[in-house]
Structure 1
């Protein structure tokens, strides 16, 4: 059967879709690039916040238009795990809803699907074997999921109820998957999990991220290693020293701090404080002078006062994060925050979000201008026009961070790494030319 997978949401979802595609191909199904060419369509959804849920539902309805051609429609992922019963009643167009751990059942489901059904078991199942993963044609950059689930119980977050408790992947399995990626041409390895800094605690009784990183650095062919989703309170001295000493590890750290007011952090059930965040940032900058920290913030959390918001603004101005994203708080059912009093008006949330992003725009421009005249290593992502390319530096993750637009007299393909002299800078992009 020909199958098309439409993936929404975070890199962890894209990783799951690659696993699903590999399982299907191993069982004699064929993956295709468009819903028009498919016999069956799978929509791998996100159900984290309201905007993501709306996007997922809209996309399901878009794919449902192909039902008239006799195609099967299956919905998987977080939205399906969370709301399968309700969606089963409201979306008769969908043939099956499957949870986040049911991808191994897809081949049989496609072969035997005669009536609508829900396949959704517990969310604490073992992590799928990665050897079946279907890679992109040119996987010069690839994620590797080192764990599933989450043990943090942040008041606003539904993920532990969707994805289950934290389960680390065995170190030897991660190394084997990374070696497979390297042989396939991967140059940039991006470690992902709900919390990469917790890695190993459940399996080995201790945090093992630093040890894992040192082993990954020994794999030939891997040039960059990037860390996403680090919790501030678990960024140990050993981890900082490992990042500082290993050339392959990008001097880039994603640390979603969410807020800087102790009042709000406590209400969010976060372990960090404004002082601990400040101390960790200072330690990172001292040990790794060119460290680029990405963070995400939530504004409009229940009970957030104007004073709390001003604290956050002051914090952003003081820390001058290289990369920063902001979300307006999304009230989610079955979360502690969703039941809290003092919910903030949507208009106030948007005003606060806009205020921080406007300030960050200035900071980003100032930091980018400091790079004018420097020569940076750039990974090529696409040819923009003849002699013009778009890429990104070690300090930028794919899809979410800055780009470098540069000219070159040489022909390049995605995945090439070149040296670029920066001539100009904008809010979120750099401009330059390749140099020898």
Structure 2
């Protein structure tokens, strides 16, 4: 059977789609890139916030337009896991609904499917991490995510992930290293470590945080040139981890820390373990140990109870910290979470206005950060060649899809995945311009 997989949401969802693709290929199916030519379409949905839910629903209806003859439409992922029964009743266009724990069953589901009979498959999560075999990469082979755990135990007041993904389950270190070596053998040069909380890695399996030692082991793998850390919780960024980041040349001087807010009042309401002082202390330690560290963070505006004073403090925090990379979301009221029932809900207009104010402020901060790289030579991984003959890539300081690009010229013919030295000659809000050093 020819199968097309449409993926929405975060890198964790992308990896789920890659897992599904690997499972289906080993069962004899073919993964293709054209929904029109497919016998079955799988829409792997996101259900994290309202905008993501709307996008997922719109995409399901888009894919339903391709339905003809005996073509199957299958919906999986977070939205399906969370709202499966409701979606089943409201979307007769969909033949099969399944959750985030059912990808291994796909070959059997397809084999046993009776045409015209709608189905739903929603399993509980395994209590320990279950390996699912080699993935079918969607992303280019030179850059790959590496999931080190599943689920989350943090129980933030606004977040539905524990309801969808279950409790925290670390992968065994030997399984992670085995996959990383296989990725390297297949041409991977950049490993991007992902999880709901990468810094909690190992606590359930080994009784202590093991991210630092895992990273040291990954650095030993030949072929891997860059290792990038995503989704690191501030209160679990240990001195040992900072030391590894500072000393290991393969580890990018980049870290993604979802701080979400800066005032103790709102952090407490969010059920975050961090405090304003702990955040400041961690950032200070990172920047002292790694002077060129680029910190990415995300913030939420308009959380219940956030008043003008809280927002002013948050804005001052952004101005003072000058994060090299910043994303801002306005609070999304998610049913089933404690935050949805809190008093002091902020109007949509104010939430969005506050978000836009922070992002406007960030323009100048990002520009200043980029201008500091003028006349410097930085490593860049090539991603594509533009029509005008220039190349587009990313620096060590930039994660794919979400961060800045480097546009540069080269007298040599380059291929995606090549890592080259580029001298920066111009800087904009979110992009750099350069020339390759020969």
Aligned to 1:407: 409
Q: CA deviation at 1:126?
A: 4.3
TM-score computed with the length of structure 1 as normaliser:
0.99
Query: Which residue pairs with 1:113 in the alignment?
Result: 113
Distance 1:276 1:78 in 2: 32
Q: Find the partner of 1:294 among 276, 293, 296.
A: 296
Q: In the alignment, is residue 326 of structure 1 matched against residue 328 of structure 2? A: yes
Report the alpha carbon displacement of residue 112 of structure 1 after superposing the two structures with TM.
1.4
Q: Residues 126 and 107 from structure 1, CA distance in 2 versus in 1: closer, same or farther, beyond 3 angstroms?
A: farther
Question: How many Å separate the matches in 2 of 1:270 and 1:288?
Answer: 26
Aligned to 2:78: 78
**Structure 2 SS opposite 1:390:** strand
Q: Does 1:204 align with 2:197?
A: no
Shift of 1:397: 0.1
How far does the alpha carbon of each residue in 1:262-292 deviate from its partner, in whole angstroms, 9 at most, with x for none?
1100000000011110010000000000000
Q: Deviations over 1:344-374 (max 9, x none)?
A: 1010011100110000111000111111110
Where do 1:356-367 residues align within 5 Å?
Answer: 356-367=358-369
Q: Deviations over 1:358-391 (max 9, x none)?
A: 0011100011111111001000000012430000
Shift of 1:69: 3.5
- 1:419 corresponds to 2:421: yes
1:342 corresponds to which of 322, 332, 344? 344
The Cα offsets for residues 288-312 of structure 1, whole Å up to 9 and x where unpaired, read as 0000000000000001000000000
Instruction: Name the SS for the 1:293 alignment partner.
Output: strand
Runs of 4+ in 1 over 3 A off after TM superposition: 124-128
| TM-score w.r.t. length of structure 2 | 0.98
2:227 pairs with 1:225:
yes
SS of the residue corresponding to residue 76 of structure 2 reads: strand
Cα deviation for residue 121 of structure 1 reads: 1.1
Q: Retained in 2: the 8 A contact 1:387–1:411? A: no
Please identify, of 379-388 and 70-79, the stretch whose mean Cα deviation from structure 2 is larger.
379-388
2:266 pairs with 1:261: no
Q: Which moved more, 1:186-195 or 1:119-128?
A: 119-128
Q: Unpaired runs of 5+ in structure 2? A: none
Q: Distance in 2 between matches of 1:125 and 1:41?
A: 30
Q: Distance in 2 between matches of 1:132 and 1:235?
A: 30
Q: Secondary structure at the residue paired with 1:67?
A: coil
2:237 paired with 1:244: no
Work out which of the residue numbers 372, 383, 392 in structure 2 matches 1:381. Answer: 383
Contact kept, 8 Å, 2:23 with 2:133, in 1: the verdict is no
Distance (Å, rounded) in 1 between the aligned partners of 2:329 and 2:21? 31
Q: Which residue does 1:310 correspond to in 2?
A: 312
Contact 1:387 1:410 in 2 (8 A): no
Q: CA deviation at 1:128?
A: 4.2
> 1:132 aligns to what SS in structure 2?
coil
- Structure 1: distance between partners of 2:137 and 2:327: 29
Distance of 1:139 and 1:153 partners within structure 2? 34
Question: Mean alpha-carbon deviation: is it higher for 26-35 or for 137-146?
Answer: 137-146
Write the distance in 1 (CA, Å) between the matches of 2:202 and 2:422. Answer: 38
1:189 paired with 2:191, answer: yes
Measure the CA separation in 2 of the matches of 1:207 and 1:168. 10
Contact 2:23 2:132 (8 Å CA) reproduced: no
- 1:137 CA drift (Å): 8.0
SS in 1 for 2:153: coil
Structure 1 residues 143, 342: closer, same or farther in 2, change over 3 A?
same
Please give the residue correspondences for 1:36-55 in structure 2 after superposition, counting only pairs within 5 Å: 36-55=36-55
Give the gaps of 5 or more residues in structure 1: none
Aligned counterparts, 1:95-244, within 5 A: 95-114=95-114, 115-136=117-138, 138-244=140-246
Find out whether 1:433 has 2:438 as its counterpart: no
What SS does structure 2 have at the residue aligned with 1:385? coil
- The alignment's C-alpha RMSD in Å is 1.0
| Closer, same or farther: CA 137–281 of 1 in aligned 2, 3 Å | closer
| Partner Cα distance (2:134, 2:370) in 1 | 41
Q: CA deviation at 1:65?
A: 1.2
Give 1:271's match in structure 2, choosing from 267, 270, 273: 273
